[in-house]
Chain A
Amino acid sequence: MKILVSVKRVPDPYAKISPNAAGTDIHRDGLQMAVNPFDEIALEEAIRLKEAGKATEVVAVSIGGAECQEQLRTALAMGADRAILVQTDAPLDALSVAKILAAVYRREQPQLMLMGKQAIDMDENQVGQMLAAILDLPQATFASKITLEDGSAVVERETDNGIETLRIPLPAIITADLRLNEPRYVALTGIVRARSKPLETITPAELGVQPHARVRLTHVEAPPARKAGKRVSDVHELVRLLREEARVI
């Protein structure tokens, strides 16, 4: 069984983010970049399935500029067998990302596509579901546990109402939530060793896709800051202020 995993290059989740002077994007100079944490989890799951003998090949795919090779090298170092960079500097939105991934999916014909439930930069939480619609495949989003049983996957999903369990036949799209697993640590030597693994670069045009973004980010600004309030000395003062000043209890 072949598993395809998408990997997005995003700012490190602990990096400090601020708007650029023109307010058109974030400050990118010297910004630490990383694999989207949810994609790292998806990748870890795919590699574990391979290690357990349930999958034979793990292919990582990223869409973006040449610099995304860095994240694909990390994916290879974690244990992916090969990587594909769909190289483009064109503006993209979630639907155009999904269309490019659909073209890669059709070319690769995996039995399972694993990906993050959301990218931590734009936080859209759309691409997996759109991809499932475009490919007319079953979907299980926000997965916290995946069990493969002949020809299908039993997936536990984190919903607002608790843990929901679904069974979906394969091939299917599954998006990972935070508690699916804890990704392994990749040593630098692993990254060096991964240099010999294949990393192919193709363009959207070669895949027969012409991306056109209909949703575009035009402005970024800092939200209104909350100012720090007072320190209280004990619970009596706290309760008095909540009653008399804030009037919320």
Chain B
Amino acid sequence: MKILVLAETDGGRVSEKTLPAIAFAQQKSPDNFTVLAIGDSLQGVESLTGYGAQTVLTVNHPALAKPLAERYAPVVAHYARQLGADAIVATTTTFSRDLLARVAGLLDAPMLSDITALETTNGKLAAKRPIYSANLIGTFEVEGNPVVMTVRGPSWGKPEPKGTQSPVQAAEAPANIPTRSEWISLQGGGGGRPDLTQARVVVSGGRPLKDPETFEKYIGGLADALGGAVGATRAAVDAGIAPNELQVGQTGKTVAPELYIAVAVSGSVQHLAGMKDSKVIVAINIDPEAPIFQVADYGLVADLYQVVPELIELLKNSKG
């Protein structure tokens, strides 16, 4: 199987969110995969060269300075065809969901979203992926070539570093990139905390956190005491307490950190869909019957306003 891995970029820089897709390629086709990175004056390409890819292709063009699906899709489709790729793969993110389904449409190729496992049985590819808000795991058989896939980050982890360096090759952008869609702005992000999908520790807060200041003080404060990232429920985001990019769940991000602390989170199936593969789950909730306790390794029935400050204090005073 020849795999084309699409690197996640924001047009200017390669993101480490690419790594699970490279780990997937290492497992499924160790000697035959190429990485494609698209943008304009792309930075960080060297972060992709240490994992055994045959080639790291870079396509730089002023029209590709921002990650617009309409512009990137023909580039991906062009190189998928040119390389004769059997699979076109990226880590599941909003970037890849937006772009690769468009690529599948251009290539008339079947697509599998957010897969957690892939096997070949009787010559047929069969993938597993969560369905119905991760209430169930579905097995999907796919026929046809090539196949487009997004792979669930936490299921594939990090690739193994290799001794050799993959050659970086600058490639041309195909002619006639459509330029109808125009990028205007990006608002949000950052805050200096670790990325939610990469962090070792995630602290999430629910609707009872009242307002952005309270959320930041208690949830942000606890995350900082643990060097972790901050997450939120949909209810908290809908209420304007937390920004949208922090939403964890069926329609938000999927995370699987070493430690997930859910503070005043009821534990709806839609929220669990995004975090129940975490290694250790802690729940702090005032209601002893809250469903979150059914998946928590450690449950503390308490008022967050009392125990979260105590917890922050204790962690600060007893480091190491």
* Chain A residues within 8 Å of B, Cβ to Cβ: 11, 13, 17-19, 26, 93-95, 98, 117-118, 120-134, 136, 138-142, 144, 154, 157-169, 177-179, 214-223, 226, 228-232, 234-236, 238-239, 241-242, 246, 248-249
Contacts and interface: CB of A to CB of B under 8 A. Distances in A.
B245 A158 contact: yes
Interface stretch (B45-53, B159-167, B289-297): B289-297
A249 B201 contact: yes
Main secondary structure of the interface of A (DSSP, over half): mixed
A70 B69 CA distance: 35
A129 B95 CA distance: 12
B194 to A, nearest CB: 14
Given A130-B105, A168-B180, A242-B298, A214 B110 contact: yes
Contacts of A134: 105
B314 interface: yes
Contact of B259 (A130, A138, A220, A242): A242
A142 B94 CA distance: 9
Given A13-B133, A120-B250, A163-B244, 16 more contacts: A13-B270, A17-B132, A18-B135, A126-B104, A129-B69, A132-B70, A141-B69, A142-B94, A158-B244, A164-B187, A178-B234, A219-B138, A226-B294, A230-B299, A232-B300, A249-B201
B170 interface: no
A161 to B, nearest CB: 5
Nearest to A241: B298
How would you classify the secondary structure of chain B's contact residues: helix, strand, loop or mixed?
A: mixed
Nearest to A132: B102
Contacts of B143: 214
Contacts of B114: 123
A231 B301 contact: yes
A123 B130 contact: yes
B113 A123 contact: yes
A18 B315 CA distance: 41
Contact of B140 (A26, A157, A216): A216
A141 B70 CA distance: 11
18 contacts: A17-B135, A121-B132, A123-B114, A124-B113, A129-B69, A129-B104, A160-B253, A161-B188, A162-B244, A165-B185, A167-B181, A167-B184, A215-B141, A218-B140, A219-B139, A223-B137, A230-B298, A248-B279
B141 A239 contact: no
B136 interface: yes
B237 interface: yes
Contact of B182 (A124, A166, A230): A166
